[in-house]
């Protein structure tokens, strides 16, 4: 029995890098739903997303292969089209019609370098507006990883600046160099934004090496799993760090990362050579802490965490992932902090 609110299945989730999907199927998992994802060999590269189970003898379709426009089971070769209809049974005489068998098929699309999938048969027509509005021409980096964490804990980690003084000490921020700031929380139609005011600079090494005077720092959440840290600069440029979170299970979350750079010199090769080692270090530090947190929550069982006004985003994230909808009572608020 699924532990997820049924409304979550009406949303779109990033599931793979577009350039990683080909005729060799991938086995993916979204909200405990197991799916075989592949691309047809018919010239247009149509996406095929089917339940990862052949209805004949239950072999995983992700272990099969694509033949033309069809995904074939590795056991007996039963072939299914992108709509899940059975199109061929090897060994069955041509005068016999294949059985009226279907495999569950899933809606897919491609945006910003990723394949997106809706696990339910009905729901939103397309992914959230934040992703749709992002200019692919400004993309400088794309990556995929997996965190051993619940999706709410994973998303809060990325959107929460207060851990950076400790987990990323000296790299992102320093506890000894805090500055007074105001965080303005604003609900939006798809989630929320948090504007951090009074921070023209940041105390860590990443800022000193790669950035210049800031005019703004903003965090975004767009349901179900898209988050963004946005930096704007006095020279008119902008940097967007997007993380899209897709839960495989209650304790494991896939993370899809893009870096967009607007209006400043940052070729893709330079980002990979100079910036990526630092970003990878930040990721590894967060992943290690999230695993510690997840393991300790499993040791102690369900307990309510203590919070302060600094924990601006947790309530909205918890509400969405438990109820499948944003909290109707969310209101704008400002919080003073030492950041």
- DSSP secondary structure, 192-224, as one string: EEEEEES-SS-SSHHHHHH---EEEEEEEEETT
> Please, which residues have CB within 8 angstroms of residue 36's CB and are 6 or more apart in sequence?
25, 26, 27, 28, 48, 49, 50, 51, 52, 60, 61, 62, 64, 71
Give me the mean pLDDT over the 299-326 stretch: 93
The whole model's pTM is what? 0.95
pLDDT band at 96 (very low <50, low <70, confident <90, very high): confident
Q: What is the pLDDT of residues 185-220, one digit of tens each?
A: 999 999 999 999 988 888 899 989 888 999 999 999
Task: Residue 271: name the closest of 241, 233, 230, 229 by CA.
Answer: 241
pLDDT at 199: 84
Q: Quick check: 339 pLDDT over 60?
A: yes
Compute CA 261 distance to the chain's CA centroid, rounded to the nearest angstrom. 19
Compute the average pLDDT of residues 300-309: 89
**Longest CA span, the chain:** 79
Angle CA(179)–CA(183)–CA(189) in degrees, nearest 5? 155
Mean pLDDT within 53-62: 97
pLDDT for 242 equals 97
Could you give the C-alpha distances from 95 to 86, 88, 114, in angstroms and in order? Answer: 16, 12, 42
Give the model confidence (pLDDT) of 154-193 as tens digits.
999 999 999 999 999 999 999 999 999 999 999 999 999 9
The confidence score (pLDDT) of residue 2 equals 65
Q: What pLDDT does 329 receive?
A: 85
Assess whether pLDDT exceeds 70 at residue 1: no
What pLDDT, on a 0 to 100 scale, did the predictor assign at position 97? 81
pLDDT digits (tens, 9 = 90+) for 215-266: 999 999 999 999 999 999 999 999 999 999 999 999 999 999 999 999 988 8
Residue 301 has pLDDT above 90, yes or no: no
d(CA 296, CA 286): 15
Domains of the chain: 6-118 (2.102.10.10), 129-299+307-338 (3.90.380.10)
pLDDT score of 16: 98
Query: What 3-state DSSP class applies to 239?
Result: strand
CB 328 within 8 A of CB 199: no
The pLDDT assigned to 279 comes to 93
Give the C-alpha separation, 13 to 108, whole Å. Answer: 9
Q: What does the pLDDT average to over 21-39?
A: 97
């Amino acid at each position: 029995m699924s532990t997820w609110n049924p409304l979550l299945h009406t949303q779109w989730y990033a599931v793979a890098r577009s350039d990683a999907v080909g005729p060799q199927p991938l086995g993916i998992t979204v909200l405990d739903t197991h799916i075989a994802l592949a691309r047809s060999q018919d010239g247009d590269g149509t996406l095929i997303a089917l339940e990862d189970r052949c209805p004949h003898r239950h072999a995983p379709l992700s272990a099969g292969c694509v033949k033309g426009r069809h995904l074939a089971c590795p056991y007996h070769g039963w072939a299914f089209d992108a709509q899940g209809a059975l199109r061929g049974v090897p060994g069955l005489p041509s005068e016999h019609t294949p059985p009226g068998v279907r495999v569950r098929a899933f809606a897919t699309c491609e945006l910003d370098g990723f394949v997106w999938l809706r696990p339910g048969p009905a729901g939103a027509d397309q992914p959230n507006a934040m992703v749709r509005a992002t200019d692919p021409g400004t993309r400088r980096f794309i990556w995929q990883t997996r965190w051993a964490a619940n999706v709410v804990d994973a998303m809060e980690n990325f959107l929460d600046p207060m851990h950076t003084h400790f987990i990323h000490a000296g790299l992102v921020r320093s506890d000894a160099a805090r500055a007074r700031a105001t965080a303005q929380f604003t609900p939006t139609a798809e989630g929320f934004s948090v504007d951090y005011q009074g921070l023209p600079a940041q105390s860590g090494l990443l800022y000193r090496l790669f950035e210049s005077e800031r005019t703004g720092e903003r965090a975004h959440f767009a349901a179900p799993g898209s988050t963004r840290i946005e930096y704007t600069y006095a020279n008119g440029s902008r940097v967007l760090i997007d993380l899209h979170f897709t839960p495989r299970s209650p304790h494991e979350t896939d993370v899809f990362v893009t870096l967009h750079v607007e209006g400043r010199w940052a070729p893709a090769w330079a980002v990979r050579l100079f910036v990526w080692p630092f970003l990878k270090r930040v990721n590894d530090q967060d992943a290690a802490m999230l695993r510690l947190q997840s393991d300790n929550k499993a040791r102690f069982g369900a307990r309510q965490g203590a919070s302060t006004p600094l924990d601006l985003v947790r309530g909205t994230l918890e509400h969405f992932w438990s109820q499948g909808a944003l909290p109707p009572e969310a209101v704008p608020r400002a919080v003073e902090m030492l950041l």
